């Protein structure tokens, strides 16, 4: 997509920045890296099909930035560059743009190589929620209603089975049945949301490895991508790390024999997260640590298969069965995780 020239002027950049190519591997937003003088920046457009109210995202980032500045001034938290008008975003022809300073000497990983890195990343996500423990969660706007609500994902799955592409339903029949057999995971979630010992906390909701920045010594220095920062349960953040850090291959892998759980990474994720959050979690929450991974992997399998049945309207697909493959991949990962819990 073309980037309108007027952006630079609105951000007070007198010369045209050097625009590098598309950056990162997110499925939702478009991201570019740019250089301006001695500084580097990240330019991003917000996908409004996914985020109908981009100002809610900006408001959340502003609110927690203010809180962190007062209560944890040494904590590195990346905030958007302001426009000349002092706004955190720029709207041009209905498209929302924002610019973040690029953290110097930082590196975003797409692949996790060692348990130490898993520990580091999990510790940063734990630290993020811990530092916000005193923050009044009700100040946060919901950027994606019911995003990690497994009851909703279950309902959407059932609806897609009934009303979605019936030809695809036949192809996916075996997978559909296997996923339905795991509905006890949703039932446990229903117990969690009525349990007062499960606290709603400021939750990142997208703890994949590329959302942690590392330094050259391989230490994690901060978390990024606050689009889905909302009140949530710790199982979302810990669980998505389990979903994306434990297996040597990603959700895109179609050779399911490569899907395994690396136990050392599993332990590292839990140790790293609990090194910050351990004392914050209640007994009931601690008991749900292994459930966290099952919850997130199952939800992602449901979401991919739902999208497949709905003709890929949400995630898109680079080849016809991509969302079916992704769902099958997540099912195998779920089975491996369940074995681990026994």
Q: Under the rule (CB under 6 A), what is the footprint of ligand GN1?
A: 26-28, 50, 206, 228, 251, 300
**Integer Cα distance of 99 and 304 in angstroms:** 30
Of the pair 28, 133, the CB lying nearest ligand GN1 is at 28
Short-list 234, 229, 232, 277, CA closest to 63: 229
In angstroms, rounded to a whole number, what is the distance separating the alpha carbons of residues 172 and 83?
48
Judged by beta carbon distances under 5 to 8 A according to partner kind, the member of Mg ion, ligand GN1, none in contact with residue 300 is ligand GN1
CA distance 40 to 19: 10
**Residue number with the smallest Cβ distance to ligand GN1:** 28
Which residue number places its CB atom closest to Mg ion?
206
Toward ligand GN1, which CB reaches closer, 27 or 279?
Answer: 27
Question: Considering CB distances under 5 to 8 angstroms, the limit depending on partner class, which of Mg ion, ligand GN1, none binds residue 19?
Answer: none
Nearer residue to ligand GN1 within complex by CB, 16 or 146? 146
Q: Does 237 bind Mg ion (CB under 5 A)?
A: no
Rounded Cα distance, 70 and 221, in Å: 19
CB distance 97 to 90 below 8 Å: yes
| DSSP state at residue 86 | S
Nearer to Mg ion, 214 or 291 (CB): 214
CB of 24 to Mg ion, least distance (A): 9
Between residues 69 and 107, which has the closer beta carbon with respect to ligand GN1?
107
Least distance from ligand GN1 to the Cβ atom of residue 50, Å: 5
Q: Taking the CB of residue 144, how many other CB atoms lie within 10 A of it?
A: 17
Residue 206 makes contact with Mg ion by CB under 5 A: yes
**Considering the complex, what minimum distance in angstroms separates the CB of residue 218 from ligand GN1?**
23
Task: Report residue 306 as tokens.
Answer: 């739902």
Sign of CA dihedral 15, 12, 90, 223: positive
Nearest approach, Cβ of residue 197 and ligand GN1 (Å): 26
Token readout for 19 is: 């625009």
Residue 200: HSE in the Cβ half-sphere, 13 Å Cα cutoff: 14
Residue owning tokens 């994690």:
220
Secondary structure (3-state) at 285 = helix
How many amino acids of this chain bind Mg ion (CB under 5 A)? 2
- The residues facing 31 across adjacent strands are 44
Min separation Cβ 73 and Mg ion, Å: 26
> In this complex, which beta carbon is closest to ligand GN1, that of residue 131 or of residue 228?
228
Whole-angstrom distance, CA of residue 152 vs CA of residue 281: 25
**Rounded to the nearest whole angstrom, what is the least distance from the CB of residue 229 to Mg ion in the complex?**
10
Q: How far is the CB of 24 from ligand GN1 (least distance, A)?
A: 9
Give least dist CB 303 to ligand GN1, A.
7
Q: Rounded to an integer, what distance in angstroms lies between the CA atom of residue 195 and that of residue 287?
A: 13
Q: How many CB atoms lie within 10 A of CB 232?
A: 22
Residue 312: contacted member of Mg ion, ligand GN1, none (CB under 5 to 8 Å, by partner type): none
d(CA 167, CA 324) in angstroms, rounded, equals: 13
Of the candidate residues 120, 225, 240, 253, the single one contacting Mg ion (CB under 5 A):
225
Residue 27 contact, options Mg ion, ligand GN1, none, Cβ 5-8 Å cut-off depending on partner type:
ligand GN1
Binding site for Mg ion (CB under 5 A): 206, 225
């Amino acid at each position: 997509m073309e980037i309108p020239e007027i952006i630079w002027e609105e951000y007070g950049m007198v010369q045209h920045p050097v625009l590098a190519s598309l950056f990162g591997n997110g499925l939702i937003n478009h991201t570019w890296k740019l250089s301006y003088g001695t500084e580097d920046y990240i330019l991003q457009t917000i996908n409004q099909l996914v985020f109908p109210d981009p100002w809610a995202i900006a408001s959340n980032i502003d609110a927690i930035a203010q809180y962190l500045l007062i209560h944890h001034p040494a904590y590195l938290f990346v905030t958007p560059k302001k426009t000349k008008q002092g706004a955190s975003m720029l709207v041009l022809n209905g498209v929302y743009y924002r610019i973040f300073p690029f953290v110097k000497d930082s590196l975003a990983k797409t692949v996790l190589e060692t348990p130490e890195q898993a520990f580091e990343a999990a510790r940063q996500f734990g630290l993020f929620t811990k530092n916000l423990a005193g923050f009044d969660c009700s100040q946060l706007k919901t950027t994606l209603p019911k995003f990690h609500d497994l009851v909703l994902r279950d309902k959407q799955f059932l609806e897609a089975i009934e009303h979605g592409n019936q030809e695809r339903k036949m192809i996916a029949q075996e997978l559909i049945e296997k996923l339905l057999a795991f509905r006890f995971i949703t039932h446990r979630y229903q117990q969690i949301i009525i349990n007062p010992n499960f606290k709603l906390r400021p939750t990142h909701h997208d703890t994949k490895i590329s959302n942690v920045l590392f330094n050259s010594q391989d230490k994690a220095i901060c978390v990024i991508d606050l689009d889905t920062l909302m009140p949530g349960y710790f199982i979302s953040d810990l669980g998505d790390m389990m979903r994306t850090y434990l297996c040597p291959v990603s959700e895109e892998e179609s050779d399911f024999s490569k899907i395994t759980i690396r136990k050392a990474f599993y332990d590292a994720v839990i140790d790293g997260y609990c090194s910050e959050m351990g004392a914050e979690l209640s007994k009931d929450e601690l008991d749900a640590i292994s459930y966290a991974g099952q919850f997130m992997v199952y939800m992602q399998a449901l979401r991919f298969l739902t999208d497949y049945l709905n003709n890929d309207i949400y995630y898109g697909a680079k080849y016809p069965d991509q969302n079916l493959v992704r769902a099958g991949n997540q099912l195998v990962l779920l089975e491996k995780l369940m074995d681990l819990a026994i």
